[in-house]
Amino acid sequence: LTFFLHIPFPPYDIFSKLPQQQRLLRALLQFDFLGFQTRRDLRNFVGCVRRVMMEAKAVARRDLQLVRFEKREIRLGHFPIGIDFDSFEKGATSELVVQRSQQLRANFPGCQLVLGVDRLDYSKGIPERLRAYRDALERHPELRGRVVLIQVVVPSRVEIPRYHEFKQRIDRLVGDINGRFSTSNWLPVQYHFRSLGREDLLAHYRGCDIAFVTPLKDGMNLVAKEYCACRIDENGVLILSHFAGAAEQLKTGALLVNPYDVEEVADTILKAFRMTDADRTARMKRMRRVVREENVFQWVDSFLSAGSQLARRVPSRQRNLRRRIPSM
């Protein structure tokens, strides 16, 4: 019996605030095999088990970690999810995508394009990103008239009052930036509150010089990987949050930032803007290699392979035991 957690697992100081910690951990420990996105998520889970479930014993292993609980052995591992690299790369070469990406660039002559694509959600760090962009324009005048932020916000849960209020915060920030810095021929933020079709999305990935992926917390964030897959010219810059799961895999090429640090993110925008073509290419090649090799098919194979190996080791008595998972 296996389980994969797509979202981040919190550290103990956050997890300890939950009212039913033991019940949740006990339910998860009914599985034979648990998969997590990153090493950090795995460490957090093991740390919580050690501090909350006194009767459980966590044993460090080189490959899969082991927890002994209620006369059973539960294996744990990290398996970062990937994308279908070949599908995105092939899609980015289609005639329609090429035309749309060229048109996108033609709309902003002389500007580097910075792309943000996010679902309307507080975890994506959109207001923090906009404040950092505003700070960059304030403190680094050379960016004015030479960069454009294309921020796409995909509608989500807009019928919930707090999400509606959250959207209004974004609207006000965009209005403030455009009101303060725009000129007769330059609008610093192009804001779209809608979803993009696949061809338009790939065209934006191909056409934008910098990807701005700065969630406050994210299990993986596949936008970062999709952007790399579509950069078939092996150029482009990825500004990526430390708190995105993808940072663990893409740290050799991405510019990593703390999305809560407005000045750091603002300075990183300037660094990305000034980055040479040679540096951009070297970084993007490294990231594309990782995304190509650690794709969604490799993720499926590695997770299922680990699970099947475990099934062969589990005694038949334990494998055939019908367990009841506590209701939450």
User: Do 303 and 249 belong together in one domain?
Assistant: no
User: Do 72 and 152 belong together in one domain?
Assistant: no
User: Do 177 and 221 belong together in one domain?
Assistant: yes
The catalytic position among 41, 218, 277, 279 is 218
Q: Tell me, yes or no, whether 328 lies in a domain.
A: no
Q: Tell me, yes or no, whether 194 lies in a domain.
A: yes
Based on the residue annotation, tell me whether 140 is a catalytic residue of this protein.
no
Alpha-carbon span 266 to 212, nearest angstrom? 11
Alpha-carbon span 246 to 225, nearest angstrom? 8
User: Do 99 and 7 belong together in one domain?
Assistant: no
Both structure tokens of 227? 């952007």
166: domain CATH number is 3.40.50.2000
For 302, the 3-state DSSP assignment is: helix
> With contact defined as beta carbons under 8 Å apart, do 83 and 296 qualify?
yes
User: Do 186 and 315 belong together in one domain?
Assistant: no
User: Do 160 and 38 belong together in one domain?
Assistant: no
For 186, the 3-state DSSP assignment is: strand
Collect the ranges in the chain with pLDDT lower than 70.
311-328
Alpha-carbon span 236 to 284, nearest angstrom? 7
User: Do 141 and 279 belong together in one domain?
Assistant: yes
Alpha-carbon span 169 to 209, nearest angstrom? 27
User: Do 49 and 190 belong together in one domain?
Assistant: no
Q: Tell me, yes or no, whether 50 lies in a domain.
A: yes
Say what the pLDDT of residue 315 is: 54
Say what the pLDDT of residue 9 is: 96
The catalytic position among 6, 164, 171, 233 is 6
Q: Tell me, yes or no, whether 327 lies in a domain.
A: no
Angle at 284 between CA 283 and CA 289, to 5 degrees: 105
Beta bridge partners of 68: 57, 73
Q: How many domains does the chain have?
A: 2
Alpha-carbon span 118 to 155, nearest angstrom? 9
Q: Tell me, yes or no, whether 77 lies in a domain.
A: yes
User: Do 63 and 109 belong together in one domain?
Assistant: no
Q: Tell me, yes or no, whether 101 lies in a domain.
A: yes
User: Do 278 and 130 belong together in one domain?
Assistant: yes
Parent domain of 202 = 85-293
Beta bridge partners of 239: 212, 255
Q: Tell me, yes or no, whether 234 lies in a domain.
A: yes
User: Do 21 and 139 belong together in one domain?
Assistant: no
Alpha-carbon span 42 to 9, nearest angstrom? 8
